[in-house]
Amino acid sequence: MRGLFRFFRKPETVAGTLILAVLAVMALASPLLFPGDPQAIAGPALLPPFQDWSLPLGTDRLGRDVLAELFYGARTSLAVGLAAAAAALALGAVIGTLAGFAGGIADDALMRLTDAFQTVPGFLLALAFVSVVGPSLMVVVIAIALSAWTGPARVARAEVLSIRERDYVAAARVAGMHPLEIAFREVLPNALPPVLALSSIIVAGAVLTEAALSFLGLGDPNRVTWGGMIAEGRAVLRSAPYLSIIPGIALVSTVLGVYLAGEGIVETTAVRRGLS
């Protein structure tokens, strides 16, 4: 209860949590509130918001319901952000643990691989990967994960280097445990908290990267995305600016909510570790 009180003590943390809660409800409720294809024609083209209460946010150039697309876009953004963050954290934690625990040539080789990935801007790497393999939701997740795993890898390696010489690790060696078992069963769990602290940054970056790829036409064509909605509204920006403004606000709110809630989690975890 004390940890929960600390988490909700700051108003910005409460705001971030509420934003994420609203987005989660939108993502989960989208098939119930808007059954069928969200990209199907629902009314006359370019209907302004609040003109027809059956289409409260109006329609786009093809007559599709903007509100339905907004809800399904939340589903896509959260799915990509969470999946890409999980993949990047898992890959980075494994590589960082292997590098830090093995040391020597293995450490040098894995860190040089990390340097090679880190020298390429993350968005350019994701852009090149999706362009070569082809746009789909899974490809976008893999592309974002490949561009985001280096940070967790470096943090995991630094933590493992400080943990591997502790007494309980030495005791595990004396007990005859396999080095990989020691690394992933004894060392990695204790090195994870600082790595997980990067999750909010990775999720926010993944949401922005997915939106940018969709804006450029490299998102999954079978799914509604906020980046695709912004790109769709670009052609009629002067006559119907709401087509770009509405998904743009949703995108900014998501990134802000993830960042604020993530900061609250990091601060709460840091306080608990300091007290323990």
DSSP annotation string for 74-129 = HHHHHHHHHHHHHHHHHHHHHHHHHHHHH-HHHHHHHHHHHHHHHHS-HHHHHHHH
119-150 burial: b if 16+ Cβ within 10 Å, else e: eeebbebbbebbeeeebebebbbbbbbbbbbb
Q: What's the mean pLDDT in 106-110?
A: 94
- Comparison of pLDDT for 267 and 7, the residue scoring more: 267
Reply yes or no on whether the pLDDT at 32 is more than 90.
yes
Q: What is the pLDDT of residue 2?
A: 54
Q: pLDDT category, 176, cuts 50, 70, 90?
A: confident
Q: What's the mean pLDDT in 104-109?
A: 93
Please answer whether residues 78 and 23 qualify as being in contact, where contact means their C-beta atoms are separated by less than 8 angstroms. Answer: yes
Name the residue with tokens 């949703």. Answer: 250
- The per-residue pLDDT for range 137-148, each reduced to its tens digit, is 999 999 999 999
Q: What is the pLDDT of residue 28?
A: 93
- The per-residue pLDDT for range 198-247, each reduced to its tens digit, is 988 999 999 999 999 999 999 888 899 999 999 999 989 999 999 999 99
Name the residue with tokens 């940018």. Answer: 212
Q: What are phi and psi of 150, to 5 degrees?
A: -70, -40
Query: Per the structure block, which two tokens stand in for 263?
Result: 């900061």
Q: What is the pLDDT of residue 33?
A: 93
For 66, 223, 243, the CA distances from 108, given in Å and listed in that order, are 51, 41, 50
Reply yes or no on whether the pLDDT at 276 is more than 50.
no
Q: pLDDT category, 15, cuts 50, 70, 90?
A: confident
Taking residue 239's Cβ as centre, other Cβ atoms within 10 Å add up to 10
Q: What's the mean pLDDT in 86-112?
A: 94
- The per-residue pLDDT for range 39-80, each reduced to its tens digit, is 999 999 999 999 998 999 999 999 999 999 999 999 999 999
Q: What is the pLDDT of residue 209?
A: 95
The pTM assigned to this predicted structure is 0.90
Q: What is the DSSP letter of 48?
A: P
* Complete domains list, the chain, with CATH: 2-275 (1.10.3720.10)
Q: What is the pLDDT of residue 99?
A: 95
Please answer whether residues 137 and 76 qualify as being in contact, where contact means their C-beta atoms are separated by less than 8 angstroms. Answer: yes
